Amino acid sequence: MLWRSMLLLCVLAASCGDRAPRGLWSDPALEPSALAQGVVIGGVVDLTSERDLFGMQKDAEILERMFAAERPSISITAWPDTRTAIETDSLDAVLAAYRLTGRLSARQMQAVAPLADRGRYLALVRIDLDQTRWDYTRRTRQSGDRTIVDVDPESRREMALLFDLYDLQLERLVFTVPVRRTGIEHGSVYSVEGMNAIPTEAEVQDAIEDLDSTSDRPEPADRSALLQGMFRDAVKYLPG
């Protein structure tokens, strides 16, 4: 069984054209051909913030589009259909628990068991990280006899998630992969001219603080665009 699992991981890495990410795990029981039995979108939860029903629906739709784009041969049950297939309260309770633990218990697997009528596999995503920081790159240039410091502001939004696939027949996790991305946005360059020929460190810092408190600071990268890229990566790593 061990050699079979190692072989599958090698196939996964080769099929994606690059090295398999650290943390990717696939159960040997997950045969590529079995995915044709269908995937049910269980939901996307966010550990970093509370998402209302509309927000969860939007995230689930992105995941559905990436399945359709990357694995069109796999039949997908969309999230609204998932919510009508079992009691809404039961699904909400399962998603609330998954948001906190990142895994489904045996009891929670029983709660989602009726979804096996829609597809063999249940896809769940938990967003674990969503944070933005602002960096300011400095470039010095000469203008006549004066030195000017150009400050280039950029936002760096880092997101990470865990993509899980559960086998509703075997009632266990059969695939998991962590995915991480950083989105960078640049703002307008701000030129600092000091009182004297060369700006002081205090003058440059004052300019940076001004940028931090105005609309000139770049906005974080678009959340939906980052999710789309991460969902695409996750789906690509599925066997087959």
Task: Tell me if residue 28 falls in helix, strand or coil.
Answer: coil
Q: Are 157 and 183 in contact (CB under 8 A)?
A: yes
Q: What is the DSSP letter of 221?
A: P
Q: Are 41 and 78 in contact (CB under 8 A)?
A: yes
pTM: 0.83
Distance between CA atoms of residues 225 and 65, nearest Å? 12
Digitized pLDDT (tens) for each residue of the chain, 240 residues in all: 333 343 344 444 434 445 678 889 999 999 999 999 999 999 999 999 999 999 999 999 999 999 999 999 999 999 999 999 999 899 999 999 999 999 999 999 999 999 999 999 999 999 999 999 999 889 999 988 889 999 999 999 999 999 999 999 999 999 999 999 999 999 888 888 888 888 888 888 888 888 777 767 889 999 999 999 999 999 999 998
Distance between CA atoms of residues 47 and 67, nearest Å? 23
Question: Which position has the token pair 């690059």?
Answer: 18
Distance between CA atoms of residues 64 and 231, nearest Å? 9
- Sorted by where each starts, the structural domains of the chain and their CATH numbers stand as 2-130+156-181+220-236 (3.40.50)
Residue ranges of alpha helices (H) inside 17-114 are 53-70, 79-85, 88-101, 106-111
CA 197 to chain centre: 47
